[in-house]
Amino acid sequence: MSVLDSKVPKGPLKTKWTDYKNHIDLVNPANKRNIDVIVVGTGLAGGSAAATLAELGYNVKTFCYQDSPRRAHSIAAQGGINAAKNYQGDGDSTYRLFYDTVKGGDYRSREANVYRLAEVSANIIDQCVAQGVPFARDYGGLLDNRSFGGVLVSRTFYAKGQTGQQLLLGAYSAMNRQIARGKITPFNRHEMLDVVKVNGKARGIIARDLVTGEIERHSAHAVVIASGGYGNVYFLSTNAMGSNATAAWKIHKKGAFFANPCYTQIHPTCIPRSGDYQSKLTLMSESLRNDGRIWVPKNIDDVMAIREGKKKPTDLSEDERDYYLERRYPAFGNLVPRDVASRAAKERCDAGYGVNATGEAVYLDFASAIERYGKEQAKIHNIENASKEKIYDLGKAIVEAKYGNLFQMYEKIVDQDPYKTPMMIYPAVHYTMGGVWVDYNLMTTVDGLYCIGEANFSDHGANRLGASALMQGLADGYFVLPYTIGDYLSHEIRTGKIATDTPEFDEAEKEVTDKINFFLNNKGSHSVDYYHKKLGKIMWDKCGMSRNAAGLKEAMVEIKELREDFYKNVSVPGTANELNAELEKAGRVADFLELGELFAKDALERAESCGGHFREESVEIGGEQEGEAKRNDADFAFVSAWEYKGEPSAAVLHKEQLEFNEIELKQRSYK
Amino acid sequence: MNLTLKIWRQKGPKDKGSMVDYKVTEISEHMSFLEMMDVLNEQLINKGEEPVAFDHDCREGICGMCSMFINGEAHGPDRGVTTCQLHMRMFKDGDTITIEPFRAKAFPVIKDLVVDRSSFDRIQHAGGYISVNTSGNTQDANAIPISKHAADEAMDAATCIGCGACVASCKNASAMLFVGAKVSQYALLPQGQVEAVDRVKNMVAQMDLEGFGNCTNTGACEVECPKGISLENIARMNREFLSANVKS
C-alpha cells in the first residue's frame, strides 16, 4: 500500500490557507484568456466554480444533463448553510465551526481542509447577500439564524425552507453574468461520458448531446468534476432522478482514486416509503427538528391501535409517548446529529414501535411548538387570557412562517395536515460523503483533473452535520478552487490550444460509442430500472444503515452476479441519435453496478462503526455510551482511497493517514 | 385504478405529432403522477415499445423540470403543485386523462412531452444577475440591512422555479410572470438598484425577442403557478419598465 500525499501546507493550522495563497503562482490576466477549463456539473460547486473562473478570465465550458444549470439538485437543499459569523453572540467562531465539523464527521475528515472551510464560511454569506440571495431577516433588517442538528450555537443562515434553491440561483446568476460576457459557454442537456488524458494530464472530455445524440469532443487545460453524489446507487434516495455517479466513476476508471465509498449519510427526517412503485424518497429539512419533537408510543398496544386506525396519535397523552431522543440524549435531545437520530429511529422501528403500515415511521410532532409560540405571541401582542384556539392560531402562524413550504409538501404527498396531526418520518439515503479522492488543492490523483463539492470525498468524513454541504459546495467553487487551479494553470501558459483530433480523443470516443451501441443492440428482456431496483435492494439491506461482514461479503457476490446478468439481459429501446432517457439510464446504472461492489468492499474493510455507518460487530458494550457506534482510531483513522484495476473486486487500497494536531479524538457523546 | 391516457407523441422537433391512447391498470391513489408515468413506461418497454419521453428530476417540487399539461392545465388539476407533487388521488377509476407538452412558440417540442425552455435562460443571461465579483471581499452581509418585509417579498418572487407553467397557461403564451418575478426579486433589494434600469429594459427586450406574447391580465398564470407567484410581480415589472424608459 502506498501513502497518499495530501499536500497539506506546513505551518500552523490557522495560517495555512493564508500562507498558501500568498505563495502560489499566479497567471497573468493576458494569459488567462488563452486557457480553457471544463466544469462538469453546475450545482452549487460547479456553478460557483464556473462563474469565478470565468470572472478571473479563463474560458470556461460548463456541462449539465438538465435543461438549465438552475435545475441541479443543489436546488432541493432545504434547511440552510452554516457560517461562523457569530452574529448571535452565542460563542460561535471559526474554531468552533471547525471543531463541530470534525467531531460531527466522527474524526474521519482532513483537519486542514475543514479548518479552511470554516475560515471561508463567513465570506460565503457576504458573497451571497451581495448577489441578492434573500436570506431570512429579523425585524431590525439584519440576518436571522437557526440552529441545526449536532451543534449548540445558532449559525445556520436560511431562506425559508428553500435555501439550496436560493444559493443555487445566486450561483446561477453569477454564471449568467459570465455567459452574457461570453466567458462561459454552457452545454446544457449534455452528459460527460469520459475524460481524455494526454501524457498523464486531463485534457478534455467526451460528451453526448442528450437531444441529438451527437458525441462531442471538448478539450481544456484542466477539467473540474462537480457532478454531485451517488446516493442513487440505492435506487430509493433523496437524490434527483438523474443524479448519477458516471462522471466520477469514469474518472476513477482513468486513474482517479475513489475514497471512502461506503460513507453514506442517512437523513433522519424523510417521508416514509409507502409502496413498491415508489421512485424516490422525499426529504424534509432537518431544521424541522428545531421545533418538532420526535416520539413513538410507549406501549406496543397503542402502536397496534394506531396502525389499525383505532387510535390517532393525538389521542395519546404526554406520558403515553416515548420521546426517545430526549430520553437517550438529554444534552442534544431532538437536535442530535443525523446518524444518531437515524439509528435511534431504526432501533425503535426494529423493536416494533413503527407507527405506519410498513412499521417504518416515527412521529415528528409540532403540537408543543405551536403552543409555545402561541403563548409567546399572545404575550407579545398583549392578549390576556387567550383562548386555546387563539393560541393555536398564533402559534401556527409562526410555524407556518418558518416551515410553511415543507408542511405543504408533506401534505401534498401524504394527504394529512401536519399542523393538526404529527408528521411521520423515517431515515433515507441522502448525501454521500465518499467520492473522488482529492488533495488539499482539490486535485485528484490525475494531473489537471479536479473534483469539488459532493463528488469529492469531501471535508466531512464519516457523517457530516446539517447545513454544511451547501457550505462546502460554495467554498470549493467560489473561494478554494479558483486559487488552487491557478497554481496548476500557471504552468500551462505555454501549452497553447489543445487539439481534439488526436489518438487519445479517438480512443476515448470509440469506447463511448461502443458502449452505446452495445446497449442498443443487446435486445435483452429486462428494463434498466429492473436492475437498478435490484441493486438498490442489495445496497439497502446489506450496505445500509447497519452492516456486518457476512452481509457485505454476500453483497459483493450478489452485485457482481447482477452486473453480469445486466450485461446479458438488459433491454434499451430507441436509437442513439435522439433524446433517449433509457439509454442515459443504462449507462448510469452500469456505473452504479460497479460502484456498488466497491462500496461493499470498502465497508467490509472498515471494521469499525463510525458516523453514518454502523458496523454491527463494532459497538460500545457497557458504560454511558452502551449501544452507540464504536470507532477504532488506532486502526482506522485513515481515508481509504481505491485504485481501479479492471474489476471493483480487484481495486487496490491506498491509505491516507489522518492527522489530528489541533483536536483531541474523543468519544462522540451527545448525551 | 384503471385509466385511459391520451398522450401527445412526437418523434422529434421536426416531426408531426399526434395523440395516442394507452391503458394503465392497478394504479394506486398514493402514486405521484410521474410514478404513474413510470408504470406506463415500464409496461411499454416490456412490450418492446418506446417509452414516453418526459422531463422530470428532483420529484420534490423544486427543480421545475417536470412540464406536463394535464387535462388542459399546467401540472394538472391540483393547485399549487408541480407534476411530481400531483397525486393519483386527484383522479377516479375509469378516468381518461389527456397529457400534452407545454405549448408555446418560444418552447419548441423536443420529443413527446419534452420542450425546450432555453428561452428562459437567455432572458436571464440578458440581466438576471447583480454584477458583483465573486472575490470573497464583499462587505459584511449585515452592512446591507434589509427590512424583513422587503426580504420576504423578494423571497416570494425568488421562489419561482422557472417551470414555464405560466407560459403554458397563458392564452398569449406570455412569460411576464416569470420575468416579473425575476425583475421583482432584484427590484425589491437594495443590492439590485444600481443596474435596475438596464436590467429591466434588457430582460424585457429579450423576452420579446424570444417570441413570448404580452400580458392581458387574464391571470391564468397566477392560478396555475405551482409556487403561487403573484400577478403583483407583473405590475412591478411594468412599473420598473416604465420608469426605466422615463429615466433614460
- Write the DSSP string, chain B: --EEEEEEE-SSTTSPPEEEEEEE----TTSBHHHHHHHHHHHHHHTTPPPPP-----SSS-S----EEETTEET-SSSS--GGG-BGGGS-TT-EEEEEE---TTS-EEETTEE--HHHHHHHHTT-S-----SS-PPPGGGS---HHHHHHHHHHHT-----HHHHH-TT-B-HHHHHHHHHHHHTSGGGSTTHHHHHHHHHHHHHHTT-B---S--HHHHH-TT---THHHHHHHHHHHHHHHH-
- The nearest alpha carbon in chain A to B62 belongs to A76
Is some CB atom of chain A closer than 8 A to the CB atom of B128? yes
Residue A297, classed as helix, strand or coil, is: strand
Q: How far apart are CA A145 and CA A158, in angstroms?
A: 7
For the record, the C-alpha cell of B170 comes out as 397563458
Out of B11, B63, B133, closest to residue A76 by CB: B63
Is some CB atom of chain A closer than 8 A to the CB atom of B145? yes
- The nearest alpha carbon in chain B to A180 belongs to B125
Are residues B145 and A142, on separate chains, in Cβ contact within 8 Å?
Answer: yes
A274 CB neighbours in chain B (<8 A) are 30
B35 CB neighbours in chain A (<8 A) are 277-279
Out of A51, A240, A279, closest to residue B35 by CB: A279
Start-to-end Cα distance in chain B:
61
Are residues B151 and A172, on separate chains, in Cβ contact within 8 Å?
Answer: no
3-state secondary structure A18-47: HHHHHHCCCCCHHHHCCCEEEEECCCHHHH
Interface test mutation site (partner A, options B129, B130, B203, max chain A beta carbons within 10 A): B129
Residue B137 within any structural domain of the chain: no
- The nearest alpha carbon in chain A to B58 belongs to A240
Is some CB atom of chain B closer than 8 A to the CB atom of A352? no
Residue B103 within any structural domain of the chain: yes
Domain at A524-638, CATH class: mainly alpha
- Sheet strand arrangement including A435-436: A435-436, A258-259, A638-643, A652-657
Neighbours of B230 (CB within 10 A): 17
Domain residue spans of chain A = 269-429, 524-638
Section B70-94 average pLDDT: 96
Backbone angles phi, psi at A583, to 5 degrees: -65, -40
CB pairs under 8 A between A and B: 213
Asked if B104 and B122 sit in the same domain, the reply is no
Nearest C-alpha neighbor of A405 from the set B177, B77, B81, B56: B81
Q: How far apart are CA A72 and CA A41, in angstroms?
A: 8
Beta bridge partners of A36: A59
A138 CB neighbours in chain B (<8 A) are 148
A85 CB neighbours in chain B (<8 A) are 141
Q: How far apart are CA A189 and CA A60, in angstroms?
A: 17
Neighbours of A421 (CB within 10 A): 16
Q: What range defines the domain where residue B175 resides?
A: 116-131+143-247
DSSP code, position A483: H
- The nearest alpha carbon in chain A to B59 belongs to A240
Cβ atoms of A59 and A50 closer than 8 Å = no
Asked if B161 and B223 sit in the same domain, the reply is yes
DSSP code, position A581: H
Interface confidence (ipTM) of the complex: 0.98
DSSP code, position A477: I
Asked if B162 and B91 sit in the same domain, the reply is no
Q: How far apart are CA A268 and CA A296, in angstroms?
A: 14
Are residues B63 and A578, on separate chains, in Cβ contact within 8 Å?
Answer: no
Q: How far apart are CA B238 and CA B203, in angstroms?
A: 12
Cβ atoms of A61 and A54 closer than 8 Å = no
How confident is the model at residue A537, as a pLDDT? Answer: 95
Asked if B120 and B106 sit in the same domain, the reply is no
Are residues B31 and A277, on separate chains, in Cβ contact within 8 Å?
Answer: yes
Cβ atoms of A520 and A575 closer than 8 Å = yes
Are residues B141 and A129, on separate chains, in Cβ contact within 8 Å?
Answer: yes
Q: Which sequence positions of A are flagged as catalytic? A: 338
Please give, rounded to a whole number of angstroms, the shortest distance from the CA of B214 to a CA of chain A.
24
How confident is the model at residue A1, as a pLDDT? Answer: 44
How confident is the model at residue A3, as a pLDDT? Answer: 60
Neighbours of A635 (CB within 10 A): 10
Asked if B123 and B104 sit in the same domain, the reply is no
Backbone angles phi, psi at B124, to 5 degrees: -65, -40
Q: How far apart are CA B10 and CA B16, in angstroms?
A: 6
Please give, rounded to a whole number of angstroms, the shortest distance from the CA of A275 to a CA of chain B.
8
- CATH of residue B202: 1.10.1060.10
Backbone angles phi, psi at B9, to 5 degrees: -110, 130
Whether this prediction's pTM lies above 0.90 is answered by: yes
How confident is the model at residue A161, as a pLDDT? Answer: 86
Are residues A67 and B81, on separate chains, in Cβ contact within 8 Å?
Answer: no
Out of B63, B133, B152, closest to residue A71 by CB: B63
Q: Same topology for domains A269-429 and A524-638, yes or no?
A: no
How confident is the model at residue A2, as a pLDDT? Answer: 54
For the record, the C-alpha cell of A328 comes out as 437517550
Question: Mind listing the pLDDT tens digit for each residue in B23-64?
Answer: 999 999 989 999 999 999 999 999 989 999 999 999 999 999
Cβ atoms of A538 and A558 closer than 8 Å = yes
Backbone angles phi, psi at A265, to 5 degrees: -95, 125
Question: Mind listing the pLDDT tens digit for each residue in A111-142?
Answer: 999 999 999 999 999 999 999 999 999 999 99
Hey, which residues 133-162 in chain A have their CB within 8 Å of chain B?
Answer: 134-143, 159-160, 162
Are residues B154 and A412, on separate chains, in Cβ contact within 8 Å?
Answer: no
Grid cell 423493536 is found at A351
How confident is the model at residue A147, as a pLDDT? Answer: 83
- The nearest alpha carbon in chain A to B112 belongs to A579
Are residues B64 and A529, on separate chains, in Cβ contact within 8 Å?
Answer: no
Residue B180's alpha-carbon distances to A281, B15, B175, B200, in angstroms, are 33, 34, 8, 9
Q: How far apart are CA A609 and CA A616, in angstroms?
A: 7
DSSP code, position A91: S
Beta bridge partners of A198: A201
Q: Could you give the number of structural domains in chain B?
A: 2
Q: How far apart are CA A425 and CA A285, in angstroms?
A: 11
3-state secondary structure B176-243: HHHHHHHHHHHHCCHHHCCCHHHHHHHHHHHHHHCCCECCCCCCHHHHHCCCCCCCHHHHHHHHHHHH
Is some CB atom of chain A closer than 8 A to the CB atom of B171? no
Q: What is the CA radius of gyration of chain B?
A: 20
Ranges in chain A, pLDDT < 50: 1
Asked if B150 and B208 sit in the same domain, the reply is yes
Region of residue A320 (phi > 0: left; psi between -120 and 50: alpha; otherwise: beta): alpha
Asked if B39 and B160 sit in the same domain, the reply is no
| Strands A201-209 vs A321-322: parallel, antiparallel or unpaired | unpaired
Asked if B97 and B150 sit in the same domain, the reply is no
Are residues A278 and B59, on separate chains, in Cβ contact within 8 Å?
Answer: no
Grid cell 386506525 is found at A309
Q: Where are the alpha helices (DSSP H) in A528-649?
A: 528-542, 549-569, 581-605, 633-636
Interface test mutation site (partner B, options A70, A284, A577, max chain B beta carbons within 10 A): A70
Nearest C-alpha neighbor of A613 from the set A466, A464, A469: A464
Q: Which helix (H) or strand (E) holds A145?
A: none
Backbone angles phi, psi at A307, to 5 degrees: -60, -35
- CATH of residue B63: 3.10.20.30
Interface test mutation site (partner B, options A52, A131, A411, max chain B beta carbons within 10 A): A131
Hey, which residues 193-232 in chain B have their CB within 8 Å of chain A?
Answer: none
Is some CB atom of chain A closer than 8 A to the CB atom of B89? yes
Asked if B61 and B172 sit in the same domain, the reply is no
Is some CB atom of chain B closer than 8 A to the CB atom of A198? no
Is some CB atom of chain B closer than 8 A to the CB atom of A282? yes
Asked if B103 and B125 sit in the same domain, the reply is no
Residue A456, classed as helix, strand or coil, is: strand
Beta bridge partners of B69: B74, B100
For A269-429, CATH number out of 3.90.700.10, 1.25.40.10, 3.30.360.10, 3.40.50.300 equals 3.90.700.10
Is some CB atom of chain A closer than 8 A to the CB atom of B24? no
A573 CB neighbours in chain B (<8 A) are 45, 48-51
Q: How far apart are CA A569 and CA B8, in angstroms?
A: 30
How confident is the model at residue A629, as a pLDDT? Answer: 87
Cβ atoms of A345 and A268 closer than 8 Å = yes
Residue B136 within any structural domain of the chain: no
Asked if B218 and B127 sit in the same domain, the reply is yes
Question: Mind listing the pLDDT tens digit for each residue in B200-214?
Answer: 999 999 999 999 999
Out of A71, A138, A173, closest to residue B128 by CB: A173
